[in-house]
Amino acid sequence: MTDSDELTTRLVRLREAQAVEPMPPWAARARRLRALEAMLRAQREAFAAAINADFGQRPAEETDLLEIFPSLSAIRHALAHGRRWMKPRRRLADLLFLPARTELQPQPLGVIGIIVPWNYPLYLAIGPLVDALVAGNRAMLKMSEFTPRFSALFAEQMAKVFAADEVVVVNGDATVAQAFSALPFDHLLFTGSTAVGHHVMRAASANLTPVTLELGGKSPAIIGPGARFDHAVERIVFGKLVNAGQTCIAPDYVLLPRARVDDFISTAGKVLAQMYPALGSSKQYASIVSDRQYQRLVELRDDARTRGAQVHRLSEAGEDPARRLLPPQLLSGVNDEMAVMREEIFGPLLPLVPYDSIDEAIAYVRAHPHPLALYLFENDRSLVDRVLTRTHAGGVSINDTLYHIAQHNLPFGGIGASGMGGYHGEAGFRTFSHVKPVFRQARFNGAGLLNPPYGARFRRMLDLLLRRG
């Protein structure tokens, strides 16, 4: 447990160190990134084992694919491009102010606070940390109490790599998280639920701390009339079931032509059998992270069934509360009165919402809060453009799921209820930098012509400015 005074002491130490070196050279930034990379490679198996223990079952293959790989890839991308990102960018001065020069100078914000969730506790710590470090900042991370083994190991290993005035990792319960979000960081990034996001933003506002909120919401997958249907089902099932659906950008429900609902159920069962044979004994299907989350999902399912939904089990495997194993289930006959259609699911339940026209599907998405992700399966470019133009989402993948998050040259972030701001790659560098505008006046210039007293010469110059303005 870390109390508020200790958190403040650690922040002050980071801030004082940043004041000594407010603009770290590229060599210092690269050293920190390489040290982080070396630690990740050395602790790869230990981290996967700790995450597996926290979940009860989380396949090492998924940790490698969804956490280790994108973390290492983000570091390599930052090392390849960071020196260029930090260079001042020349801009042309307005014609009437020549021969003055202007530029945009990226400057580290200072100390970045990062609140890490439990579902991808490694990548959602490393990803924003890489962006903070390449931008020249120091950082303080609050890990999730719901992955205690990994959080403790991560804090231990980071303390071996970074000095206490470079990067600090803290652990603790919700009380610590509340105190953490109330600290006067130079920027605060939170990844988690929309409900908690309200509290984080409220706490940050007391210090006018700028925030990046990576929240969730109900991300739709739309199967268009011209989609390759079997391909769409396979990619939706994949995107839904990695980490047993405990992914902020997992497809939350499917909008599909009314005549294809039974086809989706049948095809999804076949896809599941290929991906997870003998699911009940499979070591490659993740458990639900906690008893609380398991019970929440069961209640969502049961509420929908009580209200008239049909539940379609895709596997013969039984539910196992002791192992927190919840086999995938589709829900048809759903409506917006059901909790499963109002709340983010965050698990292996997938409602099917039929439509009679693509405009009806678009209208459904538009009638609900903006999602963090939208997935569209369609080969007609004009229809794709119609959906893109008429819907809002934090990010979009066409004819696939999840992979827009893995593109270093695309920012990752939400909109409206699904968040604000973005990061990843250069977008993250900009988020954690102040791009400072600088005007450099030439030695010989005409600025004095506008000095008082405002006589005839001034009026001639003003007339010129007004004509050219």
| Helices and strands, number each (H, E), in the chain | 16, 18
Write out pLDDT tens, residues 114-154: 999 999 999 999 999 999 999 999 999 999 999 999 999 99
Left, alpha or beta for 243 (phi > 0: left; psi -120 to 50: alpha)? Answer: left
- What global pTM score does this model have? 0.94
From-to residues of CATH 3.40.309.10 in the chain? 220-413
Give the DSSP per-residue string, 88-156. -EEEPPPGGGTT-EEEEEEEE-SEEEEE--SSSTTHHHHHHHHHHHHTT-EEEEE--TTSHHHHHHHHH
For residue 332, give the nearest of 313, 345, 346 by alpha carbon. Answer: 313
Spatial separation of the C-alpha atoms in residues 279 and 270, rounded to whole Å: 13
What's the CATH number for 220-413?
3.40.309.10
As a whole number of Å, the CA-based R_g of the chain is 26
pLDDT band per the 50, 70, 90 thresholds, residue 293:
very high
4-215+419-434 architecture in CATH? 3-Layer(aba) Sandwich (3.40)
- Is 371 in a helix, a strand, or coil? coil
Q: What is the pLDDT of residue 431?
A: 97
DSSP annotation of 380 reads: -
Q: Is the pLDDT of residue 68 over 70?
A: yes
Question: Which phi and psi (to 5°) does residue 19 adopt?
Answer: -65, -30
Q: Mean per-residue pLDDT for 226-255?
A: 97
Give Cα 113 distance to the centre of its chain. 15
Cβ contact 405:428 at 8 Å: no
Provide the 10 A C-beta neighbour count for residue 26.
16
Spatial separation of the C-alpha atoms in residues 106 and 397, rounded to whole Å: 31
Q: What is the pLDDT of residue 464?
A: 83
User: b vs e for 334-345, b when ≥16 Cβ sit within 10 Å of the residue's Cβ?
Assistant: beeebebbebbb
Beta strand extents in 166-290 (DSSP E only): 167-170, 187-191, 211-214, 220-223, 253-257
Write out pLDDT tens, residues 4-48: 899 999 999 999 999 999 999 999 999 999 999 999 999 999 999
Write out pLDDT tens, residues 155-179: 999 999 999 999 999 999 999 999 9
Spatial separation of the C-alpha atoms in residues 299 and 307, rounded to whole Å: 12
- What contacts 313, CB < 8 A, 6 or more positions away? 327, 328, 329
Spatial separation of the C-alpha atoms in residues 227 and 231, rounded to whole Å: 8
Spatial separation of the C-alpha atoms in residues 462 and 452, rounded to whole Å: 12
Q: Which residues carry out catalysis?
A: 214, 248
pLDDT band per the 50, 70, 90 thresholds, residue 444:
confident
Compute the half-sphere exposure of residue 10: CA atoms within 13 Å on the CB side of its CA.
Answer: 23
Write out pLDDT tens, residues 325-373: 999 999 999 999 999 999 999 999 999 999 999 999 999 999 999 999 9
Q: Is the pLDDT of residue 234 over 80?
A: yes
Residue 422: enclosing H or E segment and its boundaries? Answer: strand 422-423
Rounded to the nearest integer, the mean pLDDT of the chain is: 95
From-to residues of CATH 3.40.605.10 in the chain? 4-215+419-434
Bridge partners of 212, per DSSP, are 189
Which two structure tokens, joined as six digits, stand for 407?
């593109």
Q: What is the pLDDT of residue 469?
A: 66
- What contacts 202, CB < 8 A, 6 or more positions away? none
Write out pLDDT tens, residues 169-208: 999 999 999 999 999 999 999 999 998 999 999 999 999 9
Burial class of 273 by CB neighbour count within 10 A (0 to 12, 13 to 18, 19+): middle
Spatial separation of the C-alpha atoms in residues 350 and 237, rounded to whole Å: 9
Spatial separation of the C-alpha atoms in residues 408 and 387, rounded to whole Å: 24
Distance, first Cα to last Cα, the chain: 60
Which two structure tokens, joined as six digits, stand for 266?
């049948």
pLDDT band per the 50, 70, 90 thresholds, residue 277:
very high
Cβ contact 392:370 at 8 Å: yes
Residue type, 265: I
Give Cα 326 distance to the centre of its chain. 25
Cβ contact 393:238 at 8 Å: no
Q: Mean per-residue pLDDT for 386-410?
A: 96
Q: Is the pLDDT of residue 79 over 60?
A: yes
Bridge partners of 190, per DSSP, are 115, 213
Determine how β-strand 329-332 pairs with β-strand 310-313.
antiparallel
Q: What is the pLDDT of residue 2?
A: 67
Write out pLDDT tens, residues 246-261: 999 999 999 999 999 9
